[in-house]
Structure 1
Amino acid sequence: MADPPNNPHDAYFRHVLEQPVNAAGELRAVLPPAVAERVDWDALELQSCSYVSPALRSRFSDLLFRTRLDGHDAYLFLLVEHQSRPDPLMPFRMLEYTVRIWNRYIAENPKTTTLPAVVPLVVHASPRGECWTKPTELAELIDIDPDTRAELGDHLPSLRFLLDDLTVLDVAALHARDLTAQARVMLVLQKIAAGNKHLGEDLLTLVEDLLTLLAAPGGTAELECVVTYILTVSETGESDLDPLIEQLGPHAREVIMTTADRLRAEGEARGEARGEVRGEAKGRREALLELLSLKFGGVPATVVSTVGDADSAQLKAWSARVLTAGSLDEVFRG
């Protein structure tokens, strides 16, 4: 998967939809049909940039595609929102991102006297299944009396983003979309996988798509991505996938079992690393308390508590101060 993931939803979403052939199906499904017919889908090209600030990347993932609309430059800005509680300021954020896209376009085309169309789309995938209830239009965010809003009319900024709320769609609706197998599997999983204990049964409707995915070039690696996502976000274990495995065949079984073993080993390694860190900190605490006791006599309970809450860096700094400090206060100053 490209780029270090902020969360498994983000990593899987980007991995699939950063491929224009997969993104095209999703975008066509949400754009007004008359507009979708006028987009040059063959020219759809991923742009190497992100407009979401680092502080927000644990909540949102964004992809920008450039294409032609009626023969003119145009951009399709696709953003996914993974949180169970939708961002009430999303229309403002989309305006910010749109302006940044225009600024970049002006920098690349300094003689331009026009701006390209930017069509913003938000895909909402709530792990808790909560539908989008927040504004989709910028005007709704402006705190103003309705009568005054009507009087000002077009003098107020206006932007409405397209919303694909997966929580209000049933799986049959996703099956009905003209999507690649890879995109359909991903969108269905974004909708139903989180916390699900029964994916072995629930994914039987995707057998044909999974077989298509597995038979394509790089299919083994792609199935590994699917299984990694399933075993990371759901409560379905590899043994619970038996109904699905029976339909997919022995090669899929091998991929699933190998991926499960890898994830288990990685989890154990992370656990051991955390254990080593905790063990090191425990040793530093014990050593510091022993030094304090030797130099200053009895150690008050408040000091023991303070040492118990400190991290390794702080413990190291305090231990160094013990050598020159004339009192407990000097050790713990600042």
Structure 2
Amino acid sequence: MADPPNNPHDAYFRHVLAKPANAAGELQAVLPPAVSARVDWGALELQPCSFVTPELRSRFSDLLFRTRLAGHDAFIYVLVEHQSQPHPLMPFRMLEYMVRIWNHYIDDHPKTDTLPVVIPMVVYASPNGRRWNKPTELADLISIDPGGRTALGDYLPNLRFLLDDLAAVDVPALLTRKLTPEARVMLVLLKRAQGNRHLDKDLTLLLDDFGAMLAASGGKAELVCALTYILIVGETSESDLGSVIGQLGPQAREAIMTTADRLRAEGEARGEARGEAKSEAKWRAQALVEQLSEKFGTLTAETVATVRSATPERLRVWSARILTASSLDEVFQ
């Protein structure tokens, strides 16, 4: 969270739940007690891999934990969805990721003749409070008449994922979960922070957790991480935040001011960088138009418009091709 990421939800979720102690409380709050009792929580270990493709990471984030389940290798796969509507094919998506996890396991254990348990779990954080209203079972996605479903029986795939629908859990209920302060703050903020102009009311309920975070080793950095998320996705004024968080003392007040100042400075820097990039692209486009005209003669208005609307990467490719191209088609192919 040192820099405002393209997807702050992903960055904040990963930063907090990547720590096994934080993840354990959230997982135990959702897993059935009979399953939770069989998990070796002391062996919980984050795996350095992700199964969500880059183009989907604006909507989904995932974490894979390895552990032991009644003495056997096991994995717990956690995917968080942060968009206004739940993905309608989520059971299929989870099956797809589970197969990738098993393939990854087979690559690491080429002589294995068994597969480990993979427990799938989805944390759903809707920014507008809309509850999950899509299937959580793979069988419900199969388009078939009731008679055919009965006839096929066990030949239809059977998979259900665990769901933690934050929209269906109110803040007081989240506060009663046996979570670490970091995890509790993170879940409440995922539920309430985005676009919220009055987040100070919720933050008042989290003062004890913020205080515990600040008192722990490295706690100021964790507070800054939470404040960064709040200031990026929320709309509560800095003064309203200060009136609540400032109650924790001078360290907290300093954290608010320095975080807000840093984000403003970074925003200005990104704006300047975008302006410089736009200026460079305009210069490259004009240079390429002149080169094309010199080599191939007068250009059509359509060709000029194509060049001027191109991305900087495309302009660089075309500028290199013009050295050997014998026609406009060879440049733009």
What TM-score do the two structures reach when normalised by structure 1? 0.88
Counterpart Cα distance in 1 of 2:171 and 2:311? 47
User: Contact between 2:285 and 2:308, CA under 8 Å: does it hold in 1?
Assistant: yes
Counterpart Cα distance in 2 of 1:235 and 1:170? 21
Residue matched to 1:106: 106
**Structure 1 residues 106 and 278, CA, compared in 2 at 3 Å: closer, same or farther?**
closer
Structure 1 residues not aligned, in runs of 5+: none
Residue matched to 1:40: 40
Q: 1:108-187 counterparts in 2 under 5 A?
A: 108-187=108-187
1:230 correspondence with 2:230: yes
User: Contact between 1:39 and 1:68, CA under 8 Å: does it hold in 2?
Assistant: yes
Q: 1:287-306 counterparts in 2 under 5 A?
A: 305-306=305-306
Amino acid at match of 1:174: L
Q: CA offset at residue 100 of structure 1?
A: 2.4
Residue 77 of structure 2 aligns to a residue whose secondary structure is strand
Counterpart Cα distance in 2 of 1:69 and 1:77? 14
**Structure 1 residues 233 and 131, CA, compared in 2 at 3 Å: closer, same or farther?**
same
1:213 correspondence with 2:213: yes
Q: 1:1-334 counterparts in 2 under 5 A?
A: 1=1, 7-285=7-285, 305-312=305-312, 334=333
After superposition, the C-alpha distances for 1:185-227 in whole angstroms (9 at most, x for unaligned) are 0000000000111122321100000000011001111111011
**Structure 1 residues 256 and 333, CA, compared in 2 at 3 Å: closer, same or farther?**
closer
After superposition, the C-alpha distances for 1:222-248 in whole angstroms (9 at most, x for unaligned) are 111011101111112322313213322
Residue 126 of structure 2 aligns to a residue whose secondary structure is coil
After superposition, the C-alpha distances for 1:150-192 in whole angstroms (9 at most, x for unaligned) are 1111111110000001111110110010000000000000000
Amino acid at match of 2:206: L
User: Contact between 1:2 and 1:14, CA under 8 Å: does it hold in 2?
Assistant: no
Counterpart Cα distance in 2 of 1:25 and 1:67? 15
**Structure 1 residues 77 and 284, CA, compared in 2 at 3 Å: closer, same or farther?**
closer
User: Contact between 1:201 and 1:241, CA under 8 Å: does it hold in 2?
Assistant: no
Counterpart Cα distance in 1 of 2:83 and 2:68? 32
Amino acid at match of 2:50: S
Q: CA offset at residue 86 of structure 1?
A: 1.5
After superposition, the C-alpha distances for 1:111-132 in whole angstroms (9 at most, x for unaligned) are 4443222111000111222221
Structure 2 residues not aligned, in runs of 5+: none
More divergent stretch after superposition (11-20 vs 127-136): 127-136
Amino acid at match of 1:201: K
Residue 206 of structure 2 aligns to a residue whose secondary structure is helix
Counterpart Cα distance in 2 of 1:145 and 1:102? 32
Counterpart Cα distance in 1 of 2:105 and 2:321? 56
User: Contact between 2:38 and 2:70, CA under 8 Å: does it hold in 1?
Assistant: yes
Counterpart Cα distance in 1 of 2:67 and 2:261? 42
Q: CA offset at residue 297 of structure 1?
A: 10
| RMSD between aligned residues | 3.1
Amino acid at match of 2:7: N
After superposition, the C-alpha distances for 1:290-323 in whole angstroms (9 at most, x for unaligned) are 7889999998765664454234455567789999
Counterpart Cα distance in 2 of 1:300 and 1:104? 53
User: Contact between 2:242 and 2:256, CA under 8 Å: does it hold in 1?
Assistant: no
Residue 76 of structure 1 aligns to a residue whose secondary structure is strand
Amino acid at match of 1:121: M
After superposition, the C-alpha distances for 1:27-70 in whole angstroms (9 at most, x for unaligned) are 00001112212222111111222222333333221111122222
**Structure 1 residues 142 and 285, CA, compared in 2 at 3 Å: closer, same or farther?**
same
Fraction of identical pairs, as percent? 68
**Structure 1 residues 112 and 128, CA, compared in 2 at 3 Å: closer, same or farther?**
same
User: Contact between 1:318 and 1:331, CA under 8 Å: does it hold in 2?
Assistant: no
**Structure 1 residues 130 and 297, CA, compared in 2 at 3 Å: closer, same or farther?**
same
